[in-house]
Structure 1
Amino acid sequence: MKQKNVEVLPDKAALIKRSLEVVLAKIQAAIQERDLCTIALAGGGTPKPLYEALAAQELPWAKIHIFWGDERYVPADHADSNQRMARQAWLDQVDLPAGNIHPMPTDGGNPATDADKHEAQLNEFFSTGSGKFPQFDIILLGIGDDAHTASLFPQTDALQVQDRLVTVGNKDGQPRITFTASLINQAHCVIFLVAGASKREALAQIFAPDADALTYPARLIQPQGELWWLLDLEAGQELKN
């Protein structure tokens, strides 16, 4: 891991403002270095205002490619779809070429088959061969009250998958498609956005010197690039000092 940054912001508005600054800086750096920026988005409520803020920016959209770190196994127009939320908040509001949006397939009727399909899509896009992992420029993540991240839930089979890019997560018997920890950890930059007092207990375990990563899956995320934890005060009060 090149660098770990932990910032506790006064409130949710400050968290979104700071996350926008960091994301814009990373987008610009990636485009300057590689003439392209690949971003994997998070679902949930916390990043939605970030996406709305990004929609108001003037960016070289043709050079930005959008992916997702995980997706509920529902149709793309379903109210629970991470893709639907991001499209409404951001992607449909800007001149992003349709071919630059790479959603996880959830319409094949078999989550494992769709996970395989998306892994093949990633390998094709990044021109990575078998056994090699692509490097995303930015991966946005959140955590749940149980310390899960993406769709890597405590004590589930997905946590053990080390040789795949994409696998099937499980949330109370409901399948999800998710990046593996191994893929996330290849990223140039991983940014966690965390808000709310309900996350304090999970954060205490994630940041503890010793804790079981299979019980607190966000501990598995130790990228080779930069790691950012951007927290509002309600979530990160105990980590502030």
Structure 2
Amino acid sequence: MTVPNLEILPNKTALIQYALGRSVEIIEQAIADHGYCTLALAGGSTPKPIYEGLAQRDLPWDKLHIFWGDERYVPVDHPDSNAGMAKRAWLDQVPIPAKQIWVTPTTEGDPAQSAQRYEDQIKAAFAPLQPSASESFPQFDLIWLGMGDDGHTASLFPHTAALTVADHWVTVGNKDGEPRITFTVPLINHSRRVMVVAAGVSKQAALAQVFSDTAADAAYPIRLVRPTGRLDWLLDADAVGDLNLPGAHRVAASP
């Protein structure tokens, strides 16, 4: 199992600034290493200020390739759209080439068809970057993830069929009968870097189980995130509380 790097920030503001600084470092290093950076974005309220911070940075935008780890099955202009949030907070404000922003398709009317279409689009995007990816799975430079209070991540929810999909890059997630489009566990786990950012006291119960020796993976799906590359957990003090997380260390300032 991947040994995660756990870092605890004193509050959510410090957490956001730290995650922003870390993200910039990863982007710049990926571009220095191989001339591009592939990013899979997360939804939810916590990533939004990170995206807003990225919009203020001066980065080689033409080297970025943007994807989403999961999406609600709504149009991009819907208030619940992960892509819509990221576009408003960041992507519409910087000159990333439109052909390098791969918004999850959600207009087919058939989630399974949309999932297959998105997988095909990701394969097309990675073909010139990583020609061998078509034979197995691509390696994203960075996948951002959050964690729900129930221990889900992306749209991989407890005890759902999406958790066991191993022969696709993208599949249909299910939240209380509501379809989502989501990366599969193997696709996430082939990433060079996965960064989980979580904040707030509501996360404590799930975190206790995620890092326990006895909890079931199907009950807390983020336990399935075991990338071949590096796994960073960035948490604020409220999320951790009095939990004794193995190997965790506290950070006082941004990198």
TM-score scaled to structure 2, two decimals? Answer: 0.92
> What is aligned with 1:223?
227
For 1:129 and 1:39, the matched residues in 2 are separated by 16
Alpha-carbon shift at residue 4 of structure 1 (Å)? 2.2
Distance 1:121 1:169 in 2: 18
What pairs up with 1:1-241 in 2 under 5 angstroms? 4-127=4-127, 128=132, 131-237=135-241, 238=243, 239=245
SS at match of 1:140: strand
Tell me by how many angstroms 1:130 deviates.
5.0
Q: Summarize deviations over 1:66-103 as a string: whole Å, max 9, x none.
A: 10000000011000000000001000111111111101
Give 1:220 deviation, angstroms. 0.2
Q: CA deviation at 1:125?
A: 1.4
Instruction: Give me the whole-angstrom Cα distance separating, in 2, the residues matched to 1:155 and 1:163.
Output: 18
State the distance in 2 between where 1:95 and 1:89 align: 14
* 1:31 Cα deviation after fit: 0.2
Letter in 2 for 1:152: L
- Amino acid of the residue matched to residue 170 of structure 2? V
Q: 1: CA distance between counterparts of 2:186 and 2:175? A: 20
Question: Once structures 1 and 2 are overlaid, which stretch shifts more, 208-217 or 119-128?
Answer: 119-128
Alignment CA distance shift 1:114-1:215 (3 Å): same
Q: Is the 8 A contact 1:189 1:226 kept in 2?
A: yes
Q: Conserved in 1, the CA contact under 8 Å of 2:64 and 2:100?
A: yes
Q: CA RMSD in A?
A: 1.3
1:162 Cα deviation from its structure 2 partner: 1.0
Contact kept, 8 Å, 2:2 with 2:226, in 1: the verdict is: no
With over 3 angstroms needed to count, the CA separation of the structure-2 counterparts of 1:37 and 1:3, relative to structure 1, is farther
Partner of 2:252: none
Question: 2:52, 2:140 → 1: CA distance?
Answer: 22
Percent identical across equivalent pairs? 55
Give, in angstroms, the shift of residue 144 of structure 1: 0.4
Alpha carbons of structure 1 residues 123 and 232: separation in structure 2 relative to 1, 3 Å = same
Assess, with a 3 A threshold, how the Cα gap between structure 1 residues 3 and 188 changes in structure 2: closer, same or farther. Answer: farther
* Unpaired stretches in structure 1, ≥5 consecutive residues: none
Q: Deviations over 1:144-182 (max 9, x none)?
A: 000000000000000010111000000010000000011
